[in-house]
Structure 1
Amino acid sequence: MYRKLLLILFLFLYSLVSFSQKEEDIVFKINGKPVCISEVRSAYERGNKYADTKESVSDFLQSYIKLKLNVEEALAQHLDTAYAYVNAYESYRSQVAAPYMVDTVYEVQYIKDLYQRSLENIEINHIVFPFEKDVVFPADTLSVYKEALAAREIILKKGFGTDAFHPKNAGSKIFLGAEKYNGYAGWIAPFMLSYKVENAVYSLPLNAVSFPIRSAKGYHIVQVLKKRPAVGSVEVEQVVFNFPHIPPLKHHIDSVGTVARREYSNIKSGKNTFQDLCDEFTRVFQTSKKGCYLGIIGIDANLPMSFIGAAFNLDKAGDISEPIMSDYGFHIIRLLRKYPMGSYDQMRYALKDRVIKSDKVQDLSDDRRKKLLDKFKVNINQPVYASLNNIAATISPRDSLFFSSVTNGNDILVDIDGKKKYQVKAFVKYLEIRRKEVNVDPTELQILQITEASPYSLSTDILKEYFDSFLFLVLSDYAEATLGEREPEFYNTMKVFSEELLSYEVKNKNVWKRSASDEAGLSDYFIQHRNKYSLSQKKYKGLVLHVQNDNMLEKVKNFVGRKKVNNKLIEDIRTRFNTDSVQVKIEIGSWIKGDNRYVDNMVYGESEPIPYKGYPKFLVIGRFIDKPEDYTDVRSEVEVDYQEELEKNWDKYLEGKYKVEIDESVLNKIG
């Protein structure tokens, strides 16, 4: 079962469910508790839905009353609090509730919109002004924002090609992601930039320069140069001439570049082929069957931008690129084939998976949270949240010092419908869990994936993301806990399941388990009804004794001798041989041929059986019987009859304990 790690931090209050009902005819009462015609009619229709022959209303009513009587007795015996009931009920409730809790309309539309976006590539200029630390405070961002804003003014006047500005701590080109490049960043597709930057890119008109956009890493400025239909993907091979040192020194670039250009020239002149070069590459670097094969890549591949540009500039299968330099070396690329963009149906599941694993998932989380906020009356204590935000202005919520700085743990932070309240200390406990939950299991419950998906860097943003996720979790739990108040179909489904489960549990406890385990009752029943039981053929009745070796086998044979097989002998064997350890395994029974392979061998002369594990030697003692001597000789038949008697007695007990009043005049309205 999937786990709800974060939800177990809080005490859940499950509201009592009640529906206002219009005045209805009452079919029957049990101890004054009414059962209305709509309930009986629904049960009658449900019971006859797949029946070949429709059951009469009167016969059905008797069965339904028995069900209700068993439910009343189950409640009287407090079986609704027993582990078996609670576990089965909660498990089934989770399954039934799941479709009600998943709003796929927005999600489907989001994926469709993302697919439409993926049909277009955009060429951009880009620059990032990074934050100096992984976690920054509001005061730290001001200088970076001013630097970005000043740079934008220069860009507007002189363009991105100017050297008049250069961000401090700007990422080296060793980074593969387009978001780390300063200057010309090439062609962009979804998922290549953080979602806020990507949204800006896809909303800007041609040649427009954005205002600074804050992401987790810093402030970004982008300019849209061109737009084109998406190019799909390419399947390529490559031979790479690696630099001996990264970043490379100038003489490394010169020497490795010379070799790469020489090999490219040999291929173009016909002196060698790309395959010759590939074979040599495979031999030197021992790439085995993979050879030079790189795979299928899109423009969003985690590869150097120069490499991606060269690969997509190849036109026909077999075309070879000039040597392309990256931070790792020089690459010669051969095109195998091109693939157009897939259809929506082909790509939707892959897109959804990428959304779940990216910061775009926060968009989905935000929308779901807003819908939950609209569904319930939620009061967020703004002064209390402001006190937490003031702490976050100087201490990161990811720092344990934040937790000890919170002094208003008993204040109410969130109130849902006036029924469910969460204190600040519940939120702080959630923060502690989030701090520990750094790595997310890809198989984790989707709610948890959403809450862990956004690595903000501004401390107050971190607090808000944590609070939004906390709010989403508690609202989701409240929505599920109160589902029956809003969804009559869900309420009725769970009511039917609960009653059938309670009826099963009470009969299992008082009838079915007893009919199989009540040895004294089975024995008494057999004695009282001995004459109705017989054997269809002779049985061999006795013991099969399994021992560990020949020496023990002789000891057991001498001990049992010609003694009569009965309970005293069995107890004597256990006392003599099994006091400190089990030296003799004992099988007790009565068997016909084919029931027991050891009896078959010793009594009926069949083939040698497979030895009992750990006890390879065995002895069979007993005698033939032609009629049952006790209930064990015909146990299955006695159990069936005994259970039938217990059920009759149980029904009489319930009918005597609970008063049932039936309104016969209402019955003809059911069918």
Structure 2
Amino acid sequence: MNSMKNTIFLVFVLLVSLVSAQNKEIIFTVDNEPVYKDEFLRIYKKNIDLVKDESQKDIDEYLELYIDYKLKVLQSEELGLDEKNSFIKEFEGYKKQLAKNYLTDTKATDALLNEAYERYLKEVKAKHILVLANEAAKPSDTLEAFNKILELKEQVAKEGFENVMKKVHNGKTIFGEDLGYFSVFRMVYPFESAAYNTPVGTVSDPVRTKFGYHIIKVYDVRDNKGELEVAHIMVASKDSDTDDAKQHAKQKVFELYEELKKGGSFEDIAKTYSDDKASATAGGRLGKFAAGSLSSAAFEDAAFSLKKDGDVSEPIKSEFGWHIIKLIRKYPIGSYEDEKGDLEMKIKQDSRSQYITESFVNMLKKQYNFKENKEAYEYVTSVVADSIKTRKWTFDSENPNVEKILFTVNDEKKVFVKDFLQLLEMRQRRANVQNVDQFIKQNYELFIQQQILQYKEDRLAIENKEYANTLKEYRDGLLLFDLMQMKIWNKAKEDTLGLDMFYEKHKGEYMWKERTDAVIAVCTSKDAANQVQKLLKEGASLEDIKEKINTKDRINAVITSKTLEVGDDAIPSGYKLKEGVSDIYETRPGEFTIIVAGEIKKSEPKKLDEAKGKVISDYQQSLEAQWLNGLRKGHTIIVNKKVLKKVKKEVK
């Protein structure tokens, strides 16, 4: 915990030093601790549009508020609130979350976003041949797979893609598949890129993915149709069924179609007769889908051919049987700005996110003069044994080689062999290691990324002014919340004796005005108002009046009861509180109001319970004013009038 506190303190020192270095003009000091002009101006300009009280927009008034703010932060530190575990935990959590926004390559992200949107506008129709070789394959197996795909590409040039695809597909080591139409994010990123970059009618160069090596033939590129939401009624029918069974299924689906044409409910028929039980309970509704995302091209073609919401297709045949499809809604592709948020989320979940991280880390390697010790890495590969496959490997921590530097960052951060070996020893417990060299390499690359990103994160407060300012504001705000809760809010709620004394002293400020318990009837026409007024004068009950005036189809009068005070917004213009049924007042065009006033009560102080919310609020303000007065007396505050004058001029 001490190290955590030291980290918090270090960050704070860095934040203060950063702000101090930016501009040496001091606007005021608290006990000789300076507050700089640029910090004051930045906070003033940032908050000015949020301030509703015009007096707080005045520089002199705002300066007093800012001095109070600084005094509160100072006292929270004097009370050790910044050392509380709850504060440290929340501040560290926010710092981590905030840092994520600065630990990314924004140019790479923007480029991937633009690329994804451009691809999203199109759909590619393709077939591929895959020679399996996963990421954990031995180097010899990987090379064999690569040579095989090169051989197959040569065959394709001579015999044609379809012929070779059918001939070599065995469903075990080599796959030949028709992928139909697909759009962005439907395939792994390297495959997607190869497909979108291959001209129609041609075959791609071999492309490596986590599955192995592919060659892709692109047959067509068309505009993306967007997404659909549909419902369907299905009558199952398989190719293996008897002719009688097939005929029966066809007859049944056309009978259901006739029922729909006669006005039958699509949802009810789907619930009763559809063989797709997963969707039948929801009236046949399927989830939203894009072209190429279903396993039936016939179904998709029929669904996308429907024009308007509510249109129903004739029965169509697919591999699964017969379908009647109802279009619920089309979701066309929006503009870049409309789609940007969704694309960003998908990029974060996609392998593209690793490309962004790699780009950012490569940039940091150059910035921070990253240096590797190849000899030290070779030592790592020499000591990691095959026992790591059974999760039983350990390393000799006494061997002097583990103290060698593995790499350095900025000639300042030194990472040792033992640091990486400890990581490997820990990760073997959850890993299924098949290729030891591959396991070491992958973890080494991730280890470098983590170390460089952590170094960047630790320096953010020094290198990035915006981050430093945001973090400092959050830190101070968090301390102020805890301080106000301790000194003011809790005290005002729990100090019942102090609250009673405050109320008795200021009772005259919590007054009821002249008032009455009243019934207010608001009518939608003059005729209705006349009827209501007559019934009120006759002494009819409110329930009887509502029953006579209002119908199932129309509300002609709304009648409520409330305490009315002089000046209440519900009082019509020209009306003065008077016991009994009032005249009819047109409060706005087409709205007529009648008031039935009870006994008129004179102005008198409210009881504490009746004004408690306002009394507590005022008591809190009183406590805060007294407390701040004491703080100001306990600290030396000096305002630099010359700098204050500059600030006023700059604001104007």
CA contact (8 A) 1:137 1:460 kept: no
CA distance in 1, matches of 2:177, 2:108: 36
After TM superposition, the structure 1 = structure 2 runs for residues 320-469 of structure 1, keeping only pairs within 5 Å, are: 320-322=315-317, 324-325=318-319, 330-337=320-327, 339=330, 341-344=332-335, 347-373=339-365, 376-385=368-377, 400=391, 410-424=403-417, 426-427=419-420, 465-469=442-446
Give 1:158 shift. Answer: 0.9
CA contact (8 A) 2:488 2:620 kept: no
Distance 2:647 2:185 in 1: 60
Matches within 5 A, 1:60-75: 75=77
Out of 113, 125, 128, the position equivalent to 2:127 is: 125
Which whole-Å deviations, capped at 9, do the CAs of 1:170-219 have from their partners, x for residues lacking one? 259xxxxxxx9515443343334322122111111233223332222222
1:237 aligns with 2:232: yes
Q: Partner residue of 1:223?
A: 217
Asked whether the 8 Å contact 2:208–2:214 carries over to 1, the reply is yes
Q: 1:156 to 1:397 in 2, by over 3 A?
A: farther
- Taking the aligned partners of 1:335 and 1:286, their CA distance within structure 2 comes to 13
Q: Distance in 1 between matches of 2:305 and 2:434?
A: 37
SS in 2 for 1:86: helix
Q: Cα offset for 1:280?
A: 10
Choose which of 297, 301, 306 in structure 1 pairs with 2:293. Answer: 301
Looking at structure 1, the residues matched to 94 and 292 of structure 2 have their Cα atoms a distance apart, in angstroms, of 43
Indicate how the Cα distance of structure 1 residues 335 and 398 shifts in structure 2: closer, same or farther if over 3 A, else same: farther
1:442 alignment counterpart: none
CA distance in 1, matches of 2:156, 2:405: 49
Q: Secondary structure at the match of 2:221?
A: strand
3-state SS, counterpart of residue 182 of structure 1? strand
- 1:648-663 equivalences in 2 (<5 Å): 651-652=632-633, 654-655=634-635
Matched, 1:149 2:150: yes
* Match for residue 318 of structure 1 among 304, 313, 324: 313
Task: Report the secondary structure of 1:200's partner residue.
Answer: helix
Deviations along 1:84-104, whole A, 9 cap, x unmatched? 543454455456656545666
Rounded to whole Å, the distance in 2 between the matches of 1:160 and 1:396 is: 45
Report the AA paired with residue 146 of structure 2.
Y
Deviation at 1:52, TM superposition (A): 1.8
Letter in 2 for 1:482: R
SS in 2 for 1:144: helix
Asked if structure 1 preserves the Cα contact closer than 8 Å seen for 2:180 and 2:292, the reply is: no
In structure 2, runs of 5+ residues without a counterpart are 261-265, 509-614
* Equivalence map 1:232-271=2 (5 Å): 232=226, 235=230, 237=232, 239=234, 241=236, 255-256=240-241, 258-259=243-244, 261-263=246-248, 266=251
Compute the RMSD of aligned alpha carbons: 5.5
Distance 1:117 1:134 in 2: 27
What does the per-residue CA deviation read over 1:105-149, in whole Å, with 9 as the maximum and x for residues that have no partner?
Answer: 644542342232233333333211224x78322222222222222
Q: 1:514 to 1:461 in 2, by over 3 A?
A: same
Equivalent runs, 1:8-27 vs 2, <5 Å: 17=14, 18-19=17-18, 21=21, 24-26=24-26
Q: Which residue of 1 aligns with 2:458?
A: 481
- Distance, in Å, in 1 between the alignment partners of 2:290 and 2:43 is 57
Q: 2:171 aligns to what?
A: 170
Match of 2:290, as an amino acid? G
- Aligned residue for 1:142, secondary structure, equals helix
Cα pair 1:485 1:491 within 8 Å, conserved: yes
- CA distance, structure 2, for counterparts of residue 295 and residue 140 of structure 1: 41
Alignment of 1:208 with 2:210, yes or no, is no
Looking at both structures, which has the greater relative contact order when contacts are Cα pairs under 8 Å and sequence separation is at least 6? Answer: 1
SS at match of 1:162: helix
CA deviation map 1:539-565 (0-9, x unaligned): xxxxxxxxxxxxxxxxxxxxxxxxxxx
Measure, in 1, the Cα distance between the counterparts of 2:258 and 2:394: 62
SS in 1 for 2:154: helix
Check conservation: 1:27, 1:667, Cα contact below 8 A. yes
Residue 593 of structure 2 aligns with which residue? none
Structure 1, 330-339 or 118-127: larger mean CA deviation: 330-339
The 1-side partners of 2:162 and 2:132 are apart by 19
Q: What SS does the corresponding residue of 2:129 show, helix, strand or coil? A: strand
Equivalent residue number for residue 468 of structure 2: 491
SS of structure 2 residue aligned to 1:362: helix
* 8 Å CA contact retained: 2:125, 2:220: yes
Any conservation in 2 of the 1:236–1:333 contact (CA below 8 Å)? Answer: no
CA distance in 1 between counterparts of 2:8 and 2:443 reads 20
Q: Structure 2: which amino acid aligns with 1:299?
A: A
1:53 partner SS: helix
CA distance in 1, matches of 2:64, 2:226: 68
Q: Which residue does 2:116 correspond to in 1?
A: 114
Give the TM-score of the pair, scaled to structure 1. 0.58
Q: Which residue identity is paired with 1:195?
A: Y
Query: Is contact 1:118–1:190 with CA below 8 Å preserved after alignment?
Result: yes
Give 1:12 shift.
10
Q: Would the alpha carbon gap of residues 43 and 154 (structure 1) be closer, same or farther in structure 2, given more than 3 Å must change? A: closer
Q: Deviations over 1:450-487 (max 9, x none)?
A: xxxxx999776665554444444444444343222223
Q: Is this contact kept in 2: 1:215–1:456, CA < 8 A?
A: no
How far, CA to CA, are the matches of 2:446 and 2:147 in structure 1? 31
Quote the Cα distance in structure 2 between the aligned partners of 1:267 and 1:281. 15
Letter in 2 for 1:123: K
Distance 1:24 1:55 in 2: 24
Q: Which moved more, 1:367-376 or 1:143-152?
A: 367-376
Which whole-Å CA distance do the structure 1 matches of 2:284 and 2:64 have between them?
Answer: 78
Which shifted more, 407-416 or 358-367? 407-416
User: Which residue identity is paired with 2:241?
Assistant: V
User: CA separation of 1:259/1:358 partners in 2, compared to 1, >3 Å: closer, same or farther?
Assistant: farther
CA distance in 1 between partners of 2:306 and 2:493 (Å): 77
Matches within 5 A, 1:492-641: 492-496=469-473, 498=475
* Residue from 79, 83, 86 that aligns with 2:85: 83
Please list the CA deviations of residues 555-605 of structure 1 after superposition, one character each: whole Å capped at 9, or x if unmatched. xxxxxxxxxxxxxxxxxxxxxxxxxxxxxxxxxxxxxxxxxxxxxxxxxxx
Distance in 2, matches of 1:385 and 1:344, equals 49
Contact between 1:210 and 1:223, CA under 8 Å: does it hold in 2? yes
| Structure 1 residues not aligned, in runs of 5+ | 1-7, 173-179, 244-252, 439-454, 537-634
CA deviation string 1:137-171 (max 9, x = no partner): 22222222222222222222112343698558625
Distance in 2 (alpha carbons) for counterparts of 1:371 and 1:516:
55
Provide the secondary structure at the position in 2 that maps to 1:129. strand
Cα 1:219–1:391 shift into 2, 3 Å: farther
| Corresponding letter in the other structure for 1:415 | T
Q: SS state of the match for residue 110, structure 1?
A: helix
Q: Secondary structure at the match of 1:332?
A: strand
Give the whole-Å Cα distance in 1 for the aligned partners of 2:270 and 2:77: 80
Tell whether the 8 Å contact from 1:119 to 1:230 is kept in structure 2 after alignment: yes
Match of 1:194 in 2: 188
